[in-house]
């Protein structure tokens, strides 16, 4: 997992994106609920300005060789928000915590599910999405422009 830079504008972008859906037992009510994460295929661009580059420099965008599952998502454009809302009301912008973030909420008790539980362990729903994909995983692919402000990118994936 790599932690990406602070700021307010988009720091990842691509011409398509994937909404990954999985299921877990809710840590609050123990009922099975759907959870979602955004993913980008290999070749997406990540904003990594060098110290001597202006923040708006085109050279600050680097193409990656890996696919990534995104976490700690702060900013999404309206078109992506509308697409997510057409599929689920459980993955939504939440002002819980220090900064507004896109969080999963249990479909039964409506409590927020922490990003750490979904992304950081290898056996978590989005922790390692390689050959042993859960049978519950669904991939919703959208061939539409995507940009976001994210806090972390998990690169050990094959969406």
Predicted confidence (pLDDT) per residue in 40-56, tens digit:
999 999 998 765 555 56
Percent of the chain whose predicted confidence (pLDDT) is above 70: 75
**Beta strand segments in the chain, E:** 2-3, 12-14, 17-25, 32-40, 45-47, 61-63, 68-75, 91-94, 101-105, 112-113, 138-142, 146-154
Q: pLDDT value at position 128? A: 60
């Amino acid at each position: 997992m790599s932690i990406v830079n602070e700021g307010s504008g988009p720091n990842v972008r691509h011409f398509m994106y994937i909404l990954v859906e999985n299921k877990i037992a809710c840590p609050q009510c123990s009922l099975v609920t759907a959870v979602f994460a955004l993913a980008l295929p290999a070749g997406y661009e990540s904003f990594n300005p060098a110290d001597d580059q202006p923040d708006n420099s085109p050279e600050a965008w680097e193409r990656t060789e890996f696919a990534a599952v995104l976490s700690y998502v702060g900013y999404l454009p309206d078109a992506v928000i509308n697409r997510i809302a057409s599929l689920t009301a459980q993955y939504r912008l939440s002002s819980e915590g220090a900064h507004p973030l896109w969080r999963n909420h249990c479909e039964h008790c409506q409590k927020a599910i922490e990003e750490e539980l979904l992304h950081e362990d290898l056996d978590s729903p989005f922790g390692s999405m390689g050959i042993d994909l859960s049978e519950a995983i669904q991939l919703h692919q959208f061939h539409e422009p995507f940009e976001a402000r994210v806090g972390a990118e998990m690169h050990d994936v094959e969406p």
